[in-house]
Structure 1
Amino acid sequence: MKILVCIKQVPDMESRFKINGAGNWYDTAALAWRMNEYDEYAVEQAVQLKEQVGTGELVVFSIGPERVKEAMKKALAMGADRGVHVPDEQSHERDPFEIAAIIAAYARNENFDIIFTGMQSQDRGSAQVGVLVAEMLGIPSVSTIVAFERDNGGVKVKRELEGGLKAVVKTDLPALFTCQLGLNTPRYPTLPNIMKAKKKEIATRAAGDLYQGDALAVTEKMSFPEKRTGGLVLEGEPADLAGRLIGILKEKTTVFK
């Protein structure tokens, strides 16, 4: 079985963020970096599947500057066999369609049986890349999975729905799955596996060789949420509160004027 797992390196969410000089992304200076949390579940599920099958190859794929190799090395230490890095210092300016197009262009002739991605990235949070890759490759996709098992040559998964509900979905292979919190518990790489990972191959593919189209969406501006004052708590009888509430609304808005 041939498995692809796509990962992204993101800032540690405990970092102190600043807007960059262009005003369209966060300043990357002095940030701590880590593998995207949802991608860790994807890597763990890919490794578990490879262990169950007993044979095959697990490839980890990532787009970004040179530092993303640190996240890739963690995936290799967790059990991936080799990596493919697409160097791109401006990867944060690519929209989800561009990122998906690069992944799909690489995967198209590799004949992967299963592709895993995180449900979404913690910095951009579009939750679009995985399903776009599947659409471009013409294969089924199941998003936000929280359980995974092989089923008579195919796969049976549970996906999370709103309200705490879960749907059971069966699909043939090849297929793509986006991974959600609760799917598994990612393993900590052991020291021997960390040392082995240093000898595993990380090949390089140029972004321009995989995709040369233009962005469909451009981030023009970003900002921190506006600070708001505390709420006002009204106490008393309902009939009195209604009149007081209407009075407050009249003072603060022009809706009732």
Structure 2
Amino acid sequence: MKILVCIKQVPDMESKFKVAADSRWYDTADLAWRMNEYDEFAVEQAVLVKEQVGDADITVLSIGPDKVKETIKKALAMGCDRGVHIADDEVSSREPFQIAGMIAEYARDKNFDLILTGMQSQDRGSGQVGILVAELLDLPGVSTVVAFSLADGRLELRRELEGGVKARVATGLPAVVTCQLGLNNPRYPTLPNIMKAKKKELITVGVADVLKVEARQQTAKLYFPEKKGGGLILEGEPAEVADRLITILKEKTAVLA
């Protein structure tokens, strides 16, 4: 069984963020980096499947500058078999369709039985890439998965919907699955596995070899929300509060008497 896991390197969310000089992304200087939290669940699920079936082969893929190799190595230490680095220093300017297009182009002739991604990235948060990969490869795609079972070449999944509702979904392989928080408990790499990861294959693919789709959208400007004044709490009897509220609305807005 061949499995592809797609991961992203993101800043630690406890970092202090600044808008970059071009106002189109955040300033990447002086940030600590880590594996996207949702992707950790995807890596763990791939390793669990390998432990279940015994003969699975896991490729972990990440797009970005040279520093993303450190995040790939963590996935290798968690149990993936080889790493693929799509070298792209301009990854932050790529919109989700282009990111998905690069993944699909790499995977198209590899005959993967299962493709796993995180539900979304913590920095961009579009939640689009995994499902776009499924569409581009003409495969079934199931998003926001919180329960996973594989038996007889079929997946039995549970999706988390709005309001905490769970939906049951079944599909055959090959398929694309995006992983939600709580799907499993990602393991910590042990020291022996960290040492083994250093010897595992890690190949680099040039972005020009896989970037075959044009951007369909672009970020015009990135900025922090404007600070607004505090709220006003009105206390008292309902009739009195209503009168005061109407007076305030007349003073602050264009509400007519």
TM over 0.5: yes
The CA deviation string for residues 219-251 of structure 1, in whole angstroms up to 9 with x for no partner, is: 110111111222111101111111111111122
Identify unmatched segments of 5+ residues in structure 1.
Answer: none
1:147 aligned residue: 147
The CA deviation string for residues 197-228 of structure 1, in whole angstroms up to 9 with x for no partner, is: 00111111111111233211111101111112
The 5 A counterparts of 1:54-133 are 54-133=54-133
Counterpart amino acid of residue 237 in structure 2: E
Q: Which structure 1 residue ranges, 4+ long, deviate > 6 Å from structure 2?
A: none
> Do structure 1's residue 182 and structure 2's residue 204 form an aligned pair?
no
Specify the SS of the correspondent of 2:234.
coil
RMSD between aligned residues: 1.0
Provide the TM-score with structure 1 as the length reference. 0.98
Specify the SS of the correspondent of 1:158.
strand
Identical residues among aligned pairs (%): 66
1:207 aligned residue: 207
Provide the TM-score with structure 2 as the length reference. 0.98
Cα contact 2:58–2:80 (8 A) shared by 1? yes
The CA deviation string for residues 11-65 of structure 1, in whole angstroms up to 9 with x for no partner, is: 0000010111101110000000000000000000011001101002100000000
Q: Matched residues in 2 for 1:114 and 1:224: separation?
A: 38
Q: Matched residues in 2 for 1:187 and 1:152: separation?
A: 26
Q: Matched residues in 2 for 1:2 and 1:212: separation?
A: 24
The CA deviation string for residues 134-184 of structure 1, in whole angstroms up to 9 with x for no partner, is: 000000011000010113320001100111110111000000000001101
Cα contact 2:160–2:166 (8 A) shared by 1? yes
The CA deviation string for residues 44-92 of structure 1, in whole angstroms up to 9 with x for no partner, is: 0011001101002100000000000111000000000001100111100
Aligned residue-pair number: 257
Q: Matched residues in 1 for 2:250 and 2:203: separation?
A: 64
Q: Matched residues in 2 for 1:113 and 1:179: separation?
A: 16
Counterpart amino acid of residue 67 in structure 1: K
- Residue 112 of structure 1 and its aligned partner are, at CA, apart by 0.4
Identify unmatched segments of 5+ residues in structure 2.
Answer: none
Cα contact 2:101–2:212 (8 A) shared by 1? no
Q: Matched residues in 2 for 1:26 and 1:35: separation?
A: 17
- Residue 256 of structure 1 and its aligned partner are, at CA, apart by 3.4
- Residue 255 of structure 1 and its aligned partner are, at CA, apart by 4.0
